[in-house]
A and B are shown apart, each in its own frame.
Chain A
Amino acid sequence: MNEILRIENLNKSFDGVTPVKDVSFSVKRQNIVLITGENGAGKTTLFNLVTGLEKPTKGKVHYDGHEITGKSVLEIAKHGIIRLYQQPRLFKNLSVWENLVSAAHENAGNSFLNLVFRNRSVRSEDQKLKKKAIDLLRKFGLEELGDQTAGELSYGQQKLISFCMIAMNGTKLALLDEPFAGLNPQTIDRLSDMIVKMRDEEMTFVIIEHNLTRGLMIADHHIEMKDGRIKTLNDLGKK
């Protein structure tokens, strides 16, 4: 099945306001979908509805063939949808490689019982994850940051590392909230390359971005929202 995310007639109302009105669209695997719109157009609420932070008043969300409407944030994240906020959220007192290993979706050593009863295999799995984390950093040219404490990195470096964490997690779909905000042009170039590289491998991205020029350079589809509705939906003809 080529479709990874399908949104059907999604609505959200509260206190007489309807920030999302009858929004429907679908996202194909290994695509980058750019969502733009003015402040208050409903973009962030849409992300909140997909990731379970808010429950829709009406409509359905399907991910990878399963309906996930109204499920909790944890359940949805476990399904494999990751959301990256505008501010990078790293584990600031851990080193960069520890951040990456912590992001791995499966690690037997995260369970106390496994630690006690399967200590040897847990250690070997953790070593493998550490190696994978270092390889990943090398792939994106960030290997020199591996042993640094995440909280000591610059804002741009933190953003790049948070993308490595997505790759480490092995998620299939990432929702990115203004990934280019606050970055210098060189870091934006680097981040764009990372997103495209990850898309080419197996990931799908839905991006909210105000930097339209840069967003359109990497996007395969463009959705413009206005007053909670989809105003235009364009296939940019790259795929």
Chain B
Amino acid sequence: MNYFLHISVLLEIYILLALSANQKVGLSGLLTLAQAVFYGVGAYVTAIIITKLGFSYWLALPVALLTCVLAALVFSFIAGKVRDLYFSLATLAIQIIFFSVVYNWVSITNGPYGIAGISSPEILGFKINTPGSFALFGGVWVICVVLFYVWFLKTPLCRMIQATRDDQIAVLSLGKDPNYYKRVSIIISAVIAGVAGTLYATYATYIDPSSFTLDESILILSIVLIGGAGGIIGPISGALIYILLPEALKFMQMPDSVAANMRMIIFGLLLVLIVRFKPKGIFGKYLIQ
């Protein structure tokens, strides 16, 4: 049972990450290779505030999200200056810089040794430290974010974000600032990824730089690509496939050591097939370019 709940928590974290990446990639058309940066910022700020300053999760959470917003502003400044492939290359650079900083700034992040002993959140004296309580807690976050998108996708602002994705020169010609819509989109994406980071840090109780690498950013992007960008169902189904695939392999009585590698092989193969035969992804509304 605990194992099932553990899988549920992982699924919730990846659903949040996929939805956050979808905001940038699917709704704004900003092909980012640095989604793990915001995930990492959320996780590290939470971990530092809890372990080094001794504050609770509920204080760490707003500070972490505010830090994500500040990082998003830097990101959106870049998005306002460079476009398309150059934007992706700039995000690649940010991802590499972020990893180098958390890996080498030992006095703050403990570098490669990571930060251990991150305490769990508490609600009204009830400690969220079991897989069951965490699955519930993560589930509440997922429901909040999904409900947000059910509302947000129908708003005029989201329409303008998508219009900017389709043709930012046309938006400019109409007397509207495309950079504003990019900025809002990047901030929303950063906040959701930040929430996933705070969840991960408090659930795992230990974080190190290896969870926030370029590989992780590419993986998050692949989840959106497979599930499909532009809506809600696509990113969620992408996360479901990624998390549940190894479980399916276990049913085939594959040993764990083989299943882990098989997962990546099957996931890679799926990615190639999707790109070839269903470029919008399984439930995609927008073709990532």
Contacts and interface: CB of A to CB of B under 8 A. Distances in A.
Interface of A: 73-74, 77-80, 82-84, 89-94, 98-99, 101-103, 105, 107-112, 115, 122, 126, 129, 165, 169, 171
Contacts of A84: 173
A94 B184 CA distance: 19
B257 interface: no
Contacts of B159: 94, 98, 101-102
Most A-side CB within 10 Å, residue of B160, B175, B177? B175
B101 interface: no
9 contacts: A77-B174, A89-B170, A93-B286, A94-B159, A102-B159, A102-B160, A109-B156, A112-B184, A122-B156
A5 B39 CA distance: 51
Given A77-B175, A93-B285, A93-B286, A109 B170 contact: no
B288 to A, nearest CB: 12
Given A74-B177, A80-B175, A169-B175, A90 B170 contact: yes
Contacts of B230: 93
Given A101-B156, A109-B156, A112-B184, A82 B174 contact: yes
Contacts of A80: 175
Nearest to B175: A77
Interface in B168-193: 169-177, 181, 184
Given A108-B156, A109-B156, A115-B157, 8 more contacts: A77-B173, A93-B286, A94-B163, A94-B166, A102-B160, A110-B156, A112-B184, A169-B175
Nearest to A105: B175
Given A80-B175, A126-B156, A91 B163 contact: yes
A111 B169 CA distance: 19
Interface residues of B, number: 24
Contacts of B167: 89-92
Interface of B: 155-157, 159-160, 162-163, 165-167, 169-177, 181, 184, 230, 285-286
A61 B160 CA distance: 30
A89 B175 contact: no
Most A-side CB within 10 Å, residue of B160, B165, B174, B230? B174
B174 A169 contact: yes
Nearest to A168: B174
B157 A109 contact: yes
A195 B155 CA distance: 31
A112 B160 CA distance: 11
Contacts of B171: 102
Contacts of A99: 163
A91 B286 CA distance: 12
Most B-side CB within 10 Å, residue of A73, A90, A115, A169? A115
